[in-house]
Structure 1
């Protein structure tokens, strides 16, 4: 008998209503953020909505059904991407489907015809083939580069999934992004192991909010790995993150982690943290 799926705290039309209300009440001194599952987050700041690495379909479950690596869902889908008609920017940190999903991105782009799309420049051909867009449409970024889109500035940070992999021109295929807006700096890691020098790259940004994976690196899963809970807490503390939120768990049964291990480690180290429920929102405001 199949176990009941994890239900989001907020989902569908109710979640959409929250996002719309937030966008219609712009604030400069705070921002709202929602966890949409896996590594997907939605940030609303000052009337703009930024969607980070969304996976809002069942494409992987369908793709791997009847194989020796089934992607059995643990949680309900938070929202149909066609409901999100208020998005200004969307990102893909790398080419894995839970970060670059045509079944999410195509409906999203249909209802947001002016949406801007941030990707690693190294992945342009693959990305455009997958979502069937014009080669000039995505905005490409590499490490040691930045790009300004609307009020957001994106800085490219190499990710090791499982290695820092580059194309023949030396451009990163797996990336994280530091996003600067107003007085805030948010780091979304994409998928990455903890590697030597990552903390040094991030410290100068004085990160307010770090969004880090916790599912670990388990070769028997036969997928690329990530930081585990202890490593995520170490990195957050080392870079002085004002808050850290974990991601990349509770989506697929074969590739998940217990967020309580993360919370325990964060409490032990005195690292401010928040474990979000699916569809949950927090309003982030700098401490006085």
Structure 2
């Protein structure tokens, strides 16, 4: 398998990944177009203006909501606004009223409020396995954004997704840290490409109620059997990022998996 950087958005029907910033990706499998956790607005900058953590963008949105083609499916991992953004998902629903959104069942009410009335929601929970599109299997993973939070019914508030189509398997962890059984789940799914956050965590952010994620080394270990690790959740907010140079340095040392740092405005073309 090859993963090669090329400028611009992937052409329809050409397998590839386009990083939207933070944890957001456009994924074209060649037969399906998926959108995961898109944050394409400045809603958090407005919400936190004048605070200690103003959430100012370090990178501009590489595409506007109005310029996005119609995806076949939108996947949302959890309810934090940089993953479930009303100013991105709401306008997307308005443009495409029949567009299906896969959301954690534990936060379905929040999702309906943010995406809008009449949204076509498909609530899921950990261990679900479904075929939302012909030829595409979706496996739902639990995630732990520092903690594995659940609702009163025991359903996980944070999820990840395994995407399987003929010829390629991808795993997007959502926001997560290592926890019991995650490693075994990922190895059973056996992804070719892992999309994992690498901004880490520390006591200062935890004290400010900013939950963290995998460190780069933890992400590399989880993806050790994958062909490629594509890091994300960096370069968006100055208080919650990782120096891209650290990713490049790790990429120079790592052969399994190969670490490919995504670049805004470029896509990663998937080839064989």
Q: Normalized against structure 2, the TM-score is what?
A: 0.91
Q: Provide Cα deviations, 1:186-207, integer angstroms capped at 9, x if missing partner.
A: 0001100122321100111121
What are structure 2's unaligned runs of at least 5 residues? 1-5
Which residue of the partner structure matches residue 268 of structure 2? 282
C-alpha spacing 1:275/1:146, structure 2 compared with 1 (3 Å) = same
> What is aligned with 2:62?
78
Deviation at 1:277, TM superposition (A): 0.8
Aligned residue number for residue 252 of structure 1:
237
Residue 269 (structure 1) shift: 4.0
Quote the residue 1:144 is aligned against: 127
> Where does the alignment leave 5 or more consecutive residues of structure 1 unmatched?
1-8
CA deviations over 1:184-229 (Å, ceiling 9, x no partner): 2100011001223211001111211000001001232220100011
Secondary structure of the residue aligned to 2:40 is coil
Structure 1 residue aligned with 2:3: none
1:46 to partner: Cα distance: 2.6
- Paired with 2:183 and 2:248, the residues of 1 have a C-alpha distance of 21
Q: CA deviation at 1:247?
A: 0.2
Aligned mates of 1:134, 1:64 — CA distance in 2: 29
Tell me the CA shift for residue 107 of structure 1: 1.4
Aligned to 1:241: 226
2:259 corresponds in structure 1 to: 273
Q: CA deviation at 1:266?
A: 4.2
- Which range moved further: 242-251 or 164-173? 164-173
CA contact (8 A) 2:186 2:222 kept: no
2:105 counterpart (91, 115, 121): 121
Asked if structure 1 preserves the Cα contact closer than 8 Å seen for 2:22 and 2:232, the reply is yes
Q: CA deviation at 1:78?
A: 1.0
CA shift digits 1:42-76 (9 cap, x unpaired): 01123421011100000001110012221122111
Is residue 190 from structure 1 mapped to residue 177 from structure 2 by the alignment? Answer: no
More strand by share: 2
Cα deviation code 1:255-287 (max 9, x no counterpart): 11013323333443422121111121111124x
Higher relative contact order (CA 8 A, sep 6+): 2
Superposed, 1:78-97 pairs within 5 Å as 78-97=62-81
Alpha-carbon distance between aligned partners in 1 of 2:60 and 2:238, rounded to the nearest angstrom: 13
- 3-state DSSP class of the match of 2:58? coil
Q: Distance in 1 between matches of 2:183 and 2:130?
A: 22
The equivalent residue for 1:4 is: none
Please give the TM-score of this superposition, normalised by the length of structure 1. 0.86
CA contact (8 A) 2:45 2:54 kept: yes
Is the 2:89–2:114 contact (alpha carbons within 8 Å) kept by the matching residues of 1? no
**Given the alignment, which residue of 169, 173, 186 partners 2:153?**
169
Distance 1:93 1:74 in 2: 23
Partner of 1:6: none
Name the residue aligned to 2:83: 99
| Alpha-carbon RMSD | 1.7
How many residues are paired up?
262
The alignment partner of 1:179 has SS state of strand
Contact map agreement 2:78 2:84 (CA 8 A) in 1: yes
